[in-house]
Structure 1
């Protein structure tokens, strides 16, 4: 009875984690489109509007100053790279999420491989530029990888039963 409840809870956590990855993928596609359709001048104006009040209160605000600096240094090449990166990242996630939610066998190992590669890249980035947000994202990705692994093991066991 307890084992069955834990299996249901794990399956529900798997579904929630995978759906969240899908939402993340859609947001990345939207971000990609926004980057491709937005001029650098518009980005700088938007950043200025979003940070003016904060900088008026505290001209040394680290986050606001960092965002302003990034917007001022944004090159067209970097903007296009970010858009392409977000598009590829989001599209891959959406394809994997559809496969996982449909229970397609190929999607489990593919998702494990891709998400593990993403985690590896995030760990590389964390080694050079620690970030609380990236630590949290990496931990969540690791949890989703473990849930996918568990779900795949159960799916294989279920398919292999005579």
Structure 2
């Protein structure tokens, strides 16, 4: 049972990494075409109603505070980071979906590099978002290592997990 749950967590994690990679890539590209002032205006417009209702809203305040120090140089760095991080995640997910086990060590190494950078960011400029992202990346690295060690391709894990879910659902 524990193994099947971990398989499911791995599959869901890969799915979310793909979605996250796509959103990061789109967001990074979008940041290349807007000014810091436009980003600040969008953040204020997106949060103004919520902050009127609840001036202590954590997410809204983090967003407004995060963009308040934005300038062209930092925005370009963030855009480049998001595009690179997103494209790498998308490449990893596509390679896993294609079924190549050879990509597992590369996926773990790429995510490991991002984790090292994120830990550096946590030391120099702590943020809740980076903590969550780092924890998720570490969990995905561990689950990817587990799959690689078990000598399984994503398709095999997918089939086994789907069979297990439907078998459990039908017998319940």
Please indicate the TM-score interval, normalised by the length of the shorter structure: 0.7 to 0.9
Could you state the TM-score of these two structures normalised by the residue count of structure 2? 0.73
Q: Which residue of 2 aligns with 1:147?
A: 143
CA change 1:147–1:42 in 2 (3 A) is same
TM-score when scaled to structure 1? 0.77
SS in structure 2 of the partner of residue 105 of structure 1: coil
Distance (Å, rounded) in 1 between the aligned partners of 2:62 and 2:132: 20
The equivalent residue for 1:83 is 79
Query: How many residues are paired up?
Result: 152
Alignment match of 2:67 (pick from 68, 71, 74): 71
Whole-Å separation in 2 of the counterparts to 1:49 and 1:16? 33
The change in CA–CA distance for 1:66 and 1:115 in structure 2 (over 3 A counts) is closer
TM-aligned CA deviation for residue 71 of structure 1: 3.4
Describe the superposition over 1:26-51 as per-residue Cα deviations: whole angstroms up to 9, x where unpaired.
01011112212223332222123234
Distance change (3 Å), C-alpha of 1:61 and 1:122: same
* CA-CA distance at 1:126 after TM superposition: 1.8
CA–CA distance in 1 between the matches of 2:46 and 2:25? 23
Q: Does the C-alpha gap of structure 1 residues 65 and 134 become closer, same or farther in structure 2, counting only changes over 3 Å? A: closer
C-alpha RMSD of matched pairs (Å)? 2.6
Q: Which runs of 5+ in 1 are unaligned?
A: 157-162
Quickly say closer, same or farther: Cα 1:14–1:57, change in 2 above 3 A: closer
